[in-house]
Amino acid sequence: MSDSPVRTVVHTRDGPLQFQDYFVRHRCAPVVTAVSFSGIAGARPSPAFVDAIADPGLTAIVIAPSNPWLSIDPILAVPGVREALERASIPVVAVSPIIGGKAVKGPTAKIMNELGIDVTPSAIAHHYRGLIDGLVIDESDAADADRIGVPVAVARTLMNDLDDRRRLAHAVLAFAERLADTVRAA
């Protein structure tokens, strides 16, 4: 995301913890009250990011089904990154890390609960409001598709093997292609 040093700080009821302490030493047990990024004000996007966004062959930007607070937000917090993605003339599509009210792995659902956020794809779309043009949700969440607030594609998002990864990648790219005309017109 950046060549500058940036550290994720997990604020807990017991005080701030460096991400590695929270994740490894404390095994994600402390109750999270906020997340911040030390050094973010002085960070700049990496040259590779700037080049990738400027690539005329780029047809979509995909936000992986990772923890928004611990994995994606540090990237988006780098000055200029979120703004560059918001200005993109190609679809920005996120894949929800929530499947049937749970996270596949890691503390995403735990953190959402502790921050008072519903553990739903709709909450993920809300978190990325103004940034994404569409959200890919799991088949188990299909009944909520009309309540998400952005265009939605329903797919099997759980990836257990390479075939699952390929299948989901094809679904995400096909969705981005369907969104492309709408994004260019905006």
Q: What average pLDDT score do residues 167-182 get?
A: 95
Q: Provide the terminal-to-terminal Cα distance of the chain, rounded to the nearest Å.
A: 27
Predicted pLDDT at 184: 65
* 14 in a structural domain: no
- What are the pLDDT digits (tens) for 48-96? 988 898 899 999 999 999 999 999 999 999 999 999 999 889 999 999 9
- Is the pLDDT at 103 greater than 90? The verdict is yes
Q: Which CATH number fits the domain that encloses residue 138? A: 3.40.50.10680
Residues 45 and 84: beta-carbon distance below 8 Å: yes
Predicted pLDDT at 1: 83
* 150 in a structural domain: yes
* 111 in a structural domain: yes
Predicted pLDDT at 8: 97
Task: State the residue range of the domain holding 133.
Answer: 44-185
- Please, which pLDDT band fits residue 41 given cuts at 50, 70 and 90? very high
Q: What number of other Cβ atoms are within 10 A of residue 31's Cβ? A: 13
* 18 in a structural domain: no
The token pair that represents 54 in the structure block: 């400027």
Give the residue from 96, 56, 84, 90 showing the smallest Cα distance to 182: 90
Percentage above 90 pLDDT, the chain: 89
Residues in the chain: 186
* 32 in a structural domain: no
Q: How many domains does the chain have?
A: 1
Give the residue from 96, 74, 89 showing the smallest Cα distance to 141: 96
Predicted pLDDT at 185: 63
For tokens 């607070």, the residue is: 69
Q: How far apart are CA 30 and CA 58, in angstroms?
A: 40
Please report the DSSP string for 139-163 in residue order. GGGGGGGGGSSS-EEEE-----SHH
* 5 in a structural domain: no
* 166 in a structural domain: yes
* 31 in a structural domain: no
Q: What average pLDDT score do residues 34-42 get?
A: 97
Please tell me the number of Cα atoms within 13 Å of 9 on its side-chain side.
Answer: 12
